[in-house]
Structure 1
């Protein structure tokens, strides 16, 4: 696996590239031009500038998260063709600048949804929390107000230009069914995947978070069967999945390990994180450690190891630790801890496989290149 780290850019992130550089095994930055409204074409000079910034800091920039899909595309409006053309031109520019994967989602109006951005855990840390009963009875406009009050940084998927038209968007989706949304997704893929293929880019859809309908809006990327249907809409390696264990793990009935084995060739990008799900459907994000949540993180990492996964991986949302003031879910400390946990699992599996394949293999053999000969020390 290839470890990457999401970064929102100078002035919009409390974490620095210098800090990320000190996390072992991180080779790339997951990025986007977050100030560009959904539907607009990304300027080439901005893409080139970020590429140069990442390379200068010692990273690659091969994963973009996200190039957001305009609501008119999801709604199937006549204006969608222009927005799709803009999307394709953006992909062409990204491909020309060595981007390999573009993460996106097809969730109406909202991106990931939580009711509390700083719910306290037993150890005193705080984390993103979803209280199901509150969503079922809450006014979405009140939720937007609370989100805006609790974050001094812009929230991905909660862009002001999207939310300022909230009333009109809810009215537009009032008669859109899940099958309508599937048809509009198929239309988008039919146009975009050939362009992605030409640009050397793999599109990777993110599951809906949480993986069920909210506020009566249709949501269609919510299960293993839905992922299977998505891949069948356009049978190409460029039509792939960002397999997020946290999003899918909010439904404890999902078998994420089975998904990894079934879709292994169509997962260019993986988000690995843990959540603890309560019997009433509430869930809170926890440390990445398997025992701290209800998602079998150790089994998920083993599944990726077993299928020979060589795609990109990032720790997803983390807790807020040690008084850190940061973007909700995107602090430095817990994501760094998560990376080291994932590497620990991965390295142990690699070591175990090497020993199994070669009974005479010893741990010392992996250290040879790092040990100076005795004479060089004297």
Structure 2
């Protein structure tokens, strides 16, 4: 694979790839994990870069940050990271997540908002120069919430959520209004989107999880179809779109097919988290990709129909017997299932 550090050239290379299966939700691209990913028949990954253990062996030494870290990544270290991945015959498509310090300073207009935004803008510029074309982010100051665990097929364990089990404590200093969150979000877009456009980086918005109206005194803006439409229209850009988490959309109880048609026809689906749940807010549990609320093959076929050409990764997966913390066994099942569906779709539509 090419080690060209030109963002424009590498973005074009990614744009020419077909719809395909990848993996993500890990931080440390060790040789062992990269070999395992390649063994699954996967050629594409994304990395979660900010919330990680500072003792991971394979992170660049001068970029090791504590779990609450708010640092930025240099061009040199991003190139080294990409080349480590490419040496295993794998493409580094994206980086996901923002620093924890963003929750209060940027999302809730804290005292270091502009300082944090400048760091992110430098990282986005550096990603463009290093040839990593996508940055996935969320707008969830209250974080991701689950209230317990449950079991699914064969006793595999999954996380669950039930609003009846919530307490009323604030996650931050007070209760925030929806108007405040929209104002802060628009400011973020106005600052960051021009930088992403200049750097050739695509920004991808993830839904709130769970998509409740509010949690811990903080509104969950990205809980429904209408709010996502508003988000995409606030600062219109070809470089801003969706990190389409099918599990979160399933939790919302929205018509997921309508969502895919709407944003797919606008070319605003940049990559997909492919998972499902049983139930919708205010109570649901995660499950195997073949046992949830929606018809998984119908949605994959629809993604193809609307012209989506990007990476689909297993998101949260059930914890299987003798699994690891990363659920490598659960992910292997989902990867194989998605690969089979994709191969069937290609054969169905292209005669291959």
Partner of 1:294: 293
Residues 171-205 of structure 1: per-residue CA shift (max 9 Å, x gap): 1x42x211110110000000100100111111001
How far does residue 113 in structure 1 lie from its aligned partner after superposition?
1.2
Take 1:9 and 1:53, find their aligned partners in 2: how far apart are those partners?
A: 13
CA contact (8 A) 1:64 1:102 kept: yes
1:99 maps to 2:101: no
How far does residue 139 in structure 1 lie from its aligned partner after superposition?
6.3
Q: SS of the residue aligned with 2:40?
A: coil
Residues 202-228 of structure 1: per-residue CA shift (max 9 Å, x gap): 100100001112223211011111110
1:228 maps to 2:229: yes
Q: SS of the residue aligned with 2:47?
A: strand
Partner of 1:2: 20
Take 2:27 and 2:221, find their aligned partners in 1: how far apart are those partners?
A: 31
Q: Normalising by structure 2, what TM-score?
A: 0.83
Partner of 1:189: 189
Q: 2:45 aligns with which of 14, 28, 38?
A: 28
Q: 2:34 aligns with which of 17, 36, 58?
A: 17
Take 1:45 and 1:33, find their aligned partners in 2: how far apart are those partners?
A: 17
Partner of 1:89: 122
CA contact (8 A) 2:46 2:96 kept: no
Partner of 1:145: none
Partner of 2:146: 114
Q: 2:329 aligns with which of 312, 326, 333?
A: 333
CA contact (8 A) 2:260 2:303 kept: yes
CA contact (8 A) 2:44 2:311 kept: no
The within-5 A match list for 1:268-283 is 268-277=270-279, 281-283=282-284
Which entry has the higher C-alpha Rg, 1 or 2? 1
The within-5 A match list for 1:249-328 is 249-252=250-253, 254-264=254-264, 265-277=267-279, 281-289=282-290, 292-326=291-325
Residues 333-374 of structure 1: per-residue CA shift (max 9 Å, x gap): 12121122222222222212235xxxxxxxxxx4xxxxxxxx
How far does residue 33 in structure 1 lie from its aligned partner after superposition?
4.0
Take 1:56 and 1:198, find their aligned partners in 2: how far apart are those partners?
A: 28
Q: 1:52 aligns with which of 66, 80, 83?
A: 83
Cα distance change on mapping 1:339 and 1:325 into 2, 3 Å: closer
Once superposed, what is the RMSD of the aligned Cα atoms?
Answer: 2.3
The within-5 A match list for 1:242-253 is 242-252=243-253
Partner of 2:203: 203
Residues 42-95 of structure 1: per-residue CA shift (max 9 Å, x gap): 244432332122111221112111234342111123531111111100101111
Residues 285-332 of structure 1: per-residue CA shift (max 9 Å, x gap): 11111xx11133222111101112102211111011122131xxx311
Take 2:105 and 2:27, find their aligned partners in 1: how far apart are those partners?
A: 28
Cα distance change on mapping 1:170 and 1:31 into 2, 3 Å: closer
CA contact (8 A) 1:196 1:203 kept: yes
1:132 maps to 2:183: no
